Amino acid sequence: MTELFGEFLGTFILILLGNGVVANVNLEKTYSKGGGWIVITAGWGMAVFVAVLATADLSGAHLNPAVTIGLAVAGLFDWIKVIPFIIAQILGAMAGAATVYLFFRNHFAITETAGTKKACFCTAPAIRNFRNNFFSEVVGTFILVFAVLMISLPQLEYHSLGSTKVGLGSLGALPVSLVVFSIGMSLGGTTGYAINPARDLGPRIVHWWLPLKKKDDTDWRYAWIPILGPITGASIAALGYLLILKFS
């Protein structure tokens, strides 16, 4: 239960700070209104840093079903523990998104644009082309999970397969936050770089459920892309990692 709480708490922190920076930049009458893409990508990178630093010693700080699945495909995480981790991550993401709404409730109330409010919860493509959108999420998540696997490599000799703490140690917080910042700056403009199924699905459920004024369509037709795209990218990264191990 400690590890599951770690995943819940870490994903809660991730979404609170990550979706929080989106709300801070986009909602009406915040002091950082109009801060722009660099503020958002930097905020997301720092959200990863804080979340990983706070929970790495509890659970390994996966905080992302794609990372959990990538570790399992690479043979570094027990498959029987994958589903409980993913459930904890999604619940944490939902709690984080709900807290963002409560925190910025007055600003949501005066923001007229429905799409702006939805952007504070879940991702959407800049140009709607499901094939290209899927490819964007695959590539972005490949970079993330491959980096996580390589950063985690020095720690693996200290963990058995049965340990749920295989993942990121606290020393991995800064490198992974910089990876996420880099992905956002270089590749994030096409889909909003979900690169994390829980990060998109949990807040999307909250957006669907909340009684927002002038509410945009939750767009469930698109929702499979930030789920299956990251899972595919993570699996490819894990297979690449195994090939490197085999031939090194």
pLDDT tens readout for residues 179-231: 999 999 999 999 999 999 999 999 999 999 999 988 999 999 999 999 999 99
E strand intervals along the chain: none
The domain made up of 2-247 has a fold known as: Glycerol uptake facilitator protein (1.20.1080)
- Give the pLDDT band (50/70/90) at residue 45: very high
Compute the average pLDDT of residues 19-29.
Answer: 98
Question: pLDDT for 113-170, tens place per residue?
Answer: 999 999 999 999 999 999 999 999 999 999 999 998 887 665 544 444 444 445 555 5
pTM above 0.85, yes or no: yes
Cα 96 → chain centroid: 12
Please give the C-alpha separations between residue 3 and each of 21, 88, 197, 203, in angstroms, as whole numbers: 27, 9, 19, 22
Cα–Cα distance measured from residue 169 to residue 56, given in angstroms and rounded to the nearest whole number = 5
